[in-house]
Amino acid sequence: MQTVGILGGMGPEASVRFLELLVRNTAAAVDQGHVPTLLWSCPQIPDRTAALLRGGESPVPWLARGAATLTAAGADFLVMPCVTAHGFWPQVAPQIRLPLVHLLHAALDDLRSAQADIKTIGLLATHGTVQTRVVHDVFEPAGIQILLPSDSDQARVMEAIYGHEGIKAGVTTGHPRAVVCEIALQLIQAGAEAILAGCTEIPLVLKPTDLTVPLIEPLVSGARACIRRAGGKLKTDVVG
């Protein structure tokens, strides 16, 4: 099998969840049936949204260093369990010889396979992901419209993720969960036929059972794409 190189730490809990998804979506009767994996988790990578919107320190040198470390350790391809970080990949890719399993491309492929009739999705994501249009750039050419929260609700999403008692602070119940669920339901009422978790922390509080439409989870799609590419055997049923 090929070895998966995880460029992680953005945030740490998303990296842990991605590892869990790799294991849970692999059809293996023994340890040896699982895919070889290397994790480089560096929570000190500068915040991606701050870099994109407020002139904060660029994460590009950090991402390049992590990718080089994974390459030297024996990874055959890379994956980043952070949607916002994909906005920086065009700057990192020329420095790296390994291919990237792109979370959003994997999510689009899964959506086309399972629900090809969906034409409108609601996006829950960071300001950085929304304003760089990294999701739009993948889904709109496929004929899928992106619905966004209002400006005030987008600010509430950011507070739910980044706030003092937000998801990145380890709070996955109470107020952050209530806010994310409420705004997801508003997007559905506005016409969203599915909700895309455009931040890898969103599925820590928003579950498929909370919604009346499908929840598109790029981490799940990315994990399954990595298993396929590595040569592992996928479970028939998707495990989220």
Active site residues: 82, 199
Tokens of 155: 């600010």
Measured distance CA(100)–CA(97) in Å, rounded: 10
- C-alpha 41, offset from chain centre: 15
Residues 162, 164, 165, 167: what is their CA dihedral angle, to the nearest 10 degrees? Answer: 20
Q: What is the H or E stretch that residue 127 is in?
A: helix 127-132
> Which residue in 120, 114, 123 sits closest to 157, CA to CA?
123
Write phi, then psi, for 96 (nearest 5 degrees): -125, 140
- Kindly give, in sequence order, each residue whose CB lies less than 8 Å from that of residue 56, ignoring residues fewer than 6 positions away: 46, 47, 50
Strand 100-101, strand 77-79: pairing? parallel
Tokens of 139: 């889904």
